[in-house]
């Protein structure tokens, strides 16, 4: 089934992926491409959106898209930089703003009977983020909305389905942003809303069957959401021809290897569990540098995975849980293409001698869509709701060198924290949580004795995509009980701290 598609041209905005996700929430398929790599099959897209940008249209480094096959030929929505670009280079004028236009604003004027603003009323909150502003509209520009500070907040071009706005409809702070996108895409551009998790499953299963045929496929499972959903999709398509390998690197959460393996078997997956804990710990002896630790864990995984894959005969394909953000080409501030395509953290950089073809069933969808697809496939909500967990596992939550004893301590601490979050009904309110074992000892008193033991830091953050994150304001009573439980039950720990740093500037993980 052919779905209507939206093309989003990226000018380097931090919000570009958010635009794509908002469009998909309307059950419309969207794709992101760099502004200077417009697809040649432009006719296959029914509408185009121009993103924002950190650049200025007035600067020497202004980014210039080739719009002759798009403008006036297709419905086009220009957001922020896009809106200023259309104004500045088509007979209007953009100048530095006298007040920095950043943050919340409200629409103080909306032109009557505009389909673009249907079901959106005066006073609606929008999110601004720019230091330039449109002083005069482009040729044939018609003003359709203003805020108190921004006269030309939105305009359209007479005789075209071209609309431009100086605010971001894709961020949550723009309260009617989704309605605005729906007005543009459905009412003005006439796109069908038929891109759903059900249709994705149906079409992906058919595509896998056609691509793979009767060949055998090997997949490395991590216990995470992406590889699990990829496995269930592949299993639905090719059944017993899918061989899953679940490696215990000794750095998983407490009892996780056994419990997740049981879950996988219960889901009918053809899975083999490989306990390689000792091999990983041996490779980590004496390593303190985070990058060296990551490398050692990654290399050990490749060796173990390769050993296991060689035990299988006639395997032709390697499946990966790659998702859309991993494959989007990013645009640098200079406008030059800076392809930052990450390899999947569990099977990235497999050795050349595994000359397998790649199958990536999730490479077209975002993380939130992966969860929706998983729900459609009937995967246990508890598995789908699991917090993200780093590929190197507890290896990067133990700061400094790693020993079996440190892993034991951190697994116990982490289990008390995570189980506590679940018992208190807090787990699903948090994007990611975990404990860090710090490379410091501190003085304490237990009974009448002085102790000199480890300190652990607890971390819980809320986020939608991991790009930015805020620390979670957990109840003091919960933190108090958790701290008491950890210090009383985990031998070797006498101090617990809670990390109250947001990202940026701090990252979610400590290493």
CA distances (Å), origin 96, targets 79, 134, 226? 17, 9, 44
Q: What residues contact 406, with CB distance under 8 A and at least 6 apart?
A: 398, 437
Strands of the sheet with 242-248, listed across from one edge: 271-275, 242-248, 216-221, 315-319, 357-359
Residue 336 annotated in ligand binding: no
Give me the sign of the Cα torsion angle 491, 497, 503, 504.
negative
CA-nearest of 74, 73, 154, 94 to 120 is 154
Residue 349 annotated in ligand binding: no
Distance CA 420, CA 424 (A): 6
Could you tell me whether strands 93-110 and 29-34 are parallel, antiparallel, or unpaired per DSSP bridges? unpaired
CA-nearest of 196, 152, 151, 192 to 24 is 196
Residue 335 annotated in ligand binding: no
Instruction: Give helix 290-310 / helix 277-284 axis angle, nearest 10°.
Output: 150
Residue 97 annotated in ligand binding: no
CA-nearest of 72, 106, 101, 105 to 86 is 72
Residue 229 annotated in ligand binding: no
Q: Contact, 135 vs 95, CB < 8 A?
A: yes
b/e burial code for range 242-255 (CB count within 10 A of at least 16 → b): bbbbbbbbbbbbbe
Q: Which alpha helices (DSSP H) does 146-289 contain, by range?
A: 177-182, 197-212, 225-238, 256-266, 277-284
Distance CA 402, CA 233 (A): 36
DSSP state of 30: E
Residue 224 annotated in ligand binding: yes
Distance CA 379, CA 375 (A): 6
Residue 223 annotated in ligand binding: yes
Instruction: Give helix 225-238 / helix 197-212 axis angle, nearest 10°.
Output: 60
| Active-site amino acid positions | 80, 168, 170
Distance CA 82, CA 158 (A): 17
* Residues annotated within a binding site for ATP: 222-228
> Binding site: residue ranges?
222-228
């Amino acid at each position: 089934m052919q779905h209507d598609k939206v093309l989003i041209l990226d000018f380097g905005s931090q919000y570009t992926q958010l635009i794509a996700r908002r469009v998909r929430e309307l059950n419309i398929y969207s794709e992101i491409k760099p502004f200077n790599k417009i697809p040649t099959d432009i006719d296959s897209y029914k509408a185009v959106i121009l993103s924002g940008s950190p650049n200025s249209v007035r600067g020497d480094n202004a980014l210039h898209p080739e719009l002759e096959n798009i403008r006036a030929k297709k419905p086009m929505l220009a957001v922020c930089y896009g809106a200023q670009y259309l104004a500045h280079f088509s007979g209007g004028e953009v100048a530095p703003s006298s007040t920095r236009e950043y943050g919340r604003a409200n629409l103080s004027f909306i032109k009557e009977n505009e389909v673009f603003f249907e079901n959106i009323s005066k006073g609606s909150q929008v999110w601004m983020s720019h230091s330039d502003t449109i002083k005069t509209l482009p040729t044939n520009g018609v003003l359709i909305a203003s805020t108190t500070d921004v006269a030309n907040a939105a305009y359209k071009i007479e005789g075209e389905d071209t609309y431009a706005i100086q605010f971001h409809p894709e961020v949550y702070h723009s309260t009617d942003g989704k309605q605005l996108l729906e007005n543009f895409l459905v009412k003005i551009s006439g796109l069908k809303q038929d891109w759903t998790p059900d249709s994705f499953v149906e079409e992906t299963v058919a595509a896998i069957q056609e691509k793979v045929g009767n060949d055998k496929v090997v997949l490395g499972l991590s216990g995470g959401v992406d590889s699990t959903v990829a496995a269930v999709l592949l299993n639905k398509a090719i059944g017993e021809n899918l061989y899953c390998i679940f490696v215990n690197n000794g750095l998983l959460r407490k009892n996780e290897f056994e419990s997740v393996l049981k879950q996988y078997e219960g889901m009918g997956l053809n899975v083999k569990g490989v306990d390689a804990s000792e091999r990983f710990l041996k490779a980590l002896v004496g390593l303190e540098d985070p990058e060296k630790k990551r490398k050692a864990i990654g290399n050990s995984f490749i060796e173990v995975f390769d050993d296991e894959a060689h035990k299988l005969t006639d395997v032709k394909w390697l499946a990966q849980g790659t998702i859309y953000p991993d494959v989007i080409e990013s645009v640098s501030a200079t406008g030059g293409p800076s392809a930052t395509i990450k390899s999947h953290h569990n099977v990235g950089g497999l050795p050349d001698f595994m000359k397998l073809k790649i199958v990536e069933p999730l490479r077209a969808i975002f993380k939130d869509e992966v969860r929706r697809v998983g729900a459609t496939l009937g995967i246990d909500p508890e598995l789908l709701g699991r917090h993200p967990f780093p590929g190197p596992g507890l290896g990067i939550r133990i700061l400094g060198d790693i020993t079996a004893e440190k892993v034991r301590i951190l697994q116990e601490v982490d289990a008390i924290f995570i189980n506590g979050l679940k018992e208190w009904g807090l787990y699903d309110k948090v994007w990611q949580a975990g404990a860090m074992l710090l490379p410091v000892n501190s003085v304490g008193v237990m009974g009448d004795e002085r102790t000199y033991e480890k300190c652990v830091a607890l971390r819980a953050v809320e986020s939608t995509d991991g790009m930015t994150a805020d620390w979670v304001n957990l109840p003091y009573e919960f933190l108090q009980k958790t701290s008491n439980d950890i210090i009383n039950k985990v031998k070797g720990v006498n101090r617990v701290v809670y990390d109250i740093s947001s990202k940026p500037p701090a990252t979610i993980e400590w290493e």
